[in-house]
A and B are shown apart, each in its own frame.
Chain A
């Protein structure tokens, strides 16, 4: 649990738009230093354009650092020899489930990564079944992806990643396009994977999801501005609001009560806790 699986050292990254003359350079990441331990569940927060997706793409060597370095299990992402091993160890799930499913049948899609890796057919079959069972989509293995719901599609996409048996999964707003039910399904799957020892980096806009993580990293303007356990992060309601972010509803409620003069701590992130605290407050 103590070993750093992902090490990011003073990472800088810019997008260059060559269509303009002279080319316009937009600096997105301005010196990010971040270590992620094996088995951790990290949520990354930040408003649109803060650089959180760019950061994720730097981790699995889609974006290469302009300066600084990104190391996955000790492998430098800048070295092309490490490309496939890194992508195999760090899987990535995107926002739109439709755009990441390649095949016309669920099980074929889950097999895609393994086929690319050149795994033997029997082994592929075994791992595909295992991955589909893990996300609870085994009964749908022969279905066409376009007939599934958003949450189901996203779980198929996750199955396609876990079939590779990665050590870490990066999820870039995996629930942004889903309905509440689909969101719940996906979150349940993510938490289950984390319990099995998979490192999770979850980029999200939903504070309730971030509250379920072990650690929350807040990115603003291409820099890490906050990095702590969710309880400590969300209790700083004013700071979060100034960054253009929300806090979970229960935290907000506690904060409003505190502002109104009640004696309640804002270090509340889940409903049960909030109910208990409120009951305590009412009895006084």
Chain B
């Protein structure tokens, strides 16, 4: 069961969004975030909402998956909403109880914030849903490659990411094994307070730590045996290729960005 975990949150598919170049998607996600943040009023945000929904429909990702990525940030959403509701006290008073005053402006702002956060999470998780971790790492390496000139170890960072992704399942499996082994020796991991539970993790973490060093040593050896000598002179089997789709995607995104700017301009109060 534990072996079936997926790496990252990639949801394989064949939509336009899946076929777009990872580099373009990464940059467009940045544009999308800018789009959401420059929207001043609810009208501008509406453009952003339309964009998010459109991208979501194009991606053919099931709605359930979206819910899954929103779930962990529900507390953040609630916190933001409450904070805005309580602390913005200008505008018409809608409801009052002791020192708590809910106002029209507060309600507007908190709604605006909540929608913005939801759009932000949904939109950016579309990137990780439609791009495999390898493509994503490749795209990051390519996009950051100008930094090589200022001696940033871009290739090494990308290689570390790839290896980390590769070893997540291996280490999970190992944790499982160590846990069983310690349980068989009478380790108690379920009872006790938080402090005792944390302490019970030590006999799991130490062997895991030692094991990962062993993995690292052997992996380094195996990599050396396969002529690994850093990023210099390395080629890639899969080349990231831009296609006409990427042009359309960029245009689509730019139209919405322009839309947000226009709406901002015309609704100036």
Contact = CB atoms under 8 A, between A and B. Distances in A.
Question: Do A and B interact with each other, yes or no?
Answer: yes
Interface residues of B, number: 33
A93 to B, nearest CB: 9
B166 A124 contact: no
Q: Is the interface of A mostly helix, strand, loop or mixed?
A: helix
Contact of B173 (A114, A121, A146): A146
Contacts of A160: 226
A205 interface: no
Contacts of B247: none
> Which of A91, A101, A146 is packed against the most chain B CB atoms within 10 Å?
A146
Interface stretch (B57-65, B102-110, B217-225): B217-225
Size bin of chain A's contact surface: 35 or more
B199 interface: no
A102 B166 contact: yes
B178 to A, nearest CB: 15
B243 interface: no
Interface of B is mostly: helix
A164 B226 contact: yes
B236 A62 contact: no
Given A84-B227, A87-B225, A119 B219 contact: no
B7 A144 contact: yes
B170 A98 contact: yes
8 contacts: A84-B229, A102-B162, A112-B223, A115-B237, A116-B229, A117-B227, A124-B235, A125-B237
**6 closest cross-chain pairs (CB), A and B:** A100-B222, A99-B218, A113-B226, A146-B169, A111-B237, A124-B237
Interface of A: 60, 62, 84, 87-88, 91-92, 94, 96, 98-105, 107-108, 111-121, 124-125, 128, 144-147, 157, 160-161, 164
